[in-house]
Structure 1
């Protein structure tokens, strides 16, 4: 596995691969890698000649400076995990000036309104930051296929819209959520949980599975009340829960058979914010 720490040498590598007509699969990350990230590269390995990872903690997608400061940085361990996976041909670890050569600013995008729902409402400007870094990485990596986890489902939809808005010839692939044995969605933030908190957090996925069952017999307002009651009694703080249309990401009050829906939940435990979602049958 080759490792690149600057744009110049990485660009030369990409140019060589393109000259050889190699197809490139790409999954960008912010590091603190876990099995969920590795599952992206497993998917990429099946359909591409070259698989590329990137590790860059993007400052412009953090609203809270404290959250940025606390974000886990484990670069040596990450590189070892990528090497041991035998899935990745190259990892790009750019400097801030390689991504933001002039000033560290977010671009502004029109994602058709989906940027204002859920996480967009809770974290203003977040998806402009995501779009800015992903657009720049797409320009530098020139992938044929790019892979994103469904845990950040709204982000996945944002990236699909980004490719459409910019008219990029990149196929975007969503990869199913990778979970711990107890059902907790794998996330880099899990590193900040104690063992007791990890076990407590298993309630998130258990609740989502119950929601899936409840949609067959209960209306959405009753489901929301049940979810609120579950978390009001425990050690976790429910930030929001909603059922939304998978395309528009708008919250719905009722379910029809001709559309796809997904339950979304955000919970805080201690000082860690956890997100999860589940497609509803």
Structure 2
């Protein structure tokens, strides 16, 4: 596996690959890799001539400075994991290389920024859009792979690709879960043993909501989710939303003809986790 740390070098390498007719599958990450990331890379390798992974903890998408400081950084472990996968190239740039000047550009994703992650993390998606744009320009992939766990992020990037005419295909991969149902996340590493056990209740709450949706109102389902999580002291629910799967706008009622996203965000201790299921 080739390791590249500068923008200039990654551009040179990917330009050579494209000129030789090779197709590139790209998986952007912030490191602390888990099986979900590796599954994305496996899919990228299967669907393209080679796969490229980036590892960059992007400062512009963090609303909380402490969260950015504590985000797990284990690059040596990540490199060992990637060497055992089908990753052909790792791009691991520095902050100075990716942001030689303070970011001034701001993105507006309309209604997507008024709900859920956009509502509770103002400015977050500008940081996401900025770094993803930079990475797309540098790597120039034919396909880019993202996980469904960050469903709203995927919707934002899809809008970015469409509006700015990036010449690539986005692929949304289903959520990879632990055996007990917890959605795999780099942030899970920060949970204590007790918090890790309680964190499984987020997925159980989503399963409860999915079952109740067949015969209950949205308001009743929201109340049931809130009551389900109340006994767990480590969990502080930030939001549970019933949304249209395409627009991610809140739904007042269930409609059997619609695909619906059940989305949840909560603090488990000091660690913020998100999850979703699509019904």
Fold similarity call, TM over 0.5: yes
Bin for the TM-score computed over the shorter chain: over 0.9
Deviations 1:254-278 (A, max 9, x none): 0113321110111111111111000
Q: 3-state DSSP class of the match of 1:113?
A: helix
Partner in structure 1 of residue 133 of structure 2: 135
Partner in structure 2 of residue 43 of structure 1: 43
Partner in structure 2 of residue 26 of structure 1: 26
CA distance in 2, matches of 1:233, 1:95: 43
How many residues are aligned here? 278
1:180, 1:186 within 8 Å by CA — same for their partners in 2?
yes
Aligned ranges for residues 93-242 of structure 1 at < 5 Å?
Answer: 93-101=92-100, 103-105=101-103, 107-235=105-233, 236-242=235-241
Partner in structure 1 of residue 89 of structure 2: 90
Q: Stretches of 4+ moved more than 4 A in 1? A: none
CA distance in 1, matches of 2:58, 2:219: 37
CA distance in 1, matches of 2:76, 2:221: 44
Task: Give the C-alpha shift of residue 7 in structure 1.
Answer: 1.5
2:71, 2:187 within 8 Å by CA — same for their partners in 1?
yes
**Aligned Cα root-mean-square deviation (Å):** 1.1
Task: Give the C-alpha shift of residue 107 in structure 1.
Answer: 2.4
Deviations 1:179-216 (A, max 9, x none): 11110000000000122221111111111111111001
Deviations 1:16-63 (A, max 9, x none): 111211100001000010001011111111110120000000000001
1:266, 1:276 within 8 Å by CA — same for their partners in 2?
yes
TM-score after normalising by structure 1: 0.96
Runs of 5+ unmatched residues, structure 2: none
Task: Give the C-alpha shift of residue 106 in structure 1.
Answer: 5.2
Deviations 1:86-134 (A, max 9, x none): x110000011232123x13152223242122110100100000000000
Q: 3-state DSSP class of the match of 1:121?
A: helix
CA distance in 2, matches of 1:61, 1:258: 35
Runs of 5+ unmatched residues, structure 1: none
Deviations 1:229-255 (A, max 9, x none): 111222211111110001111111101
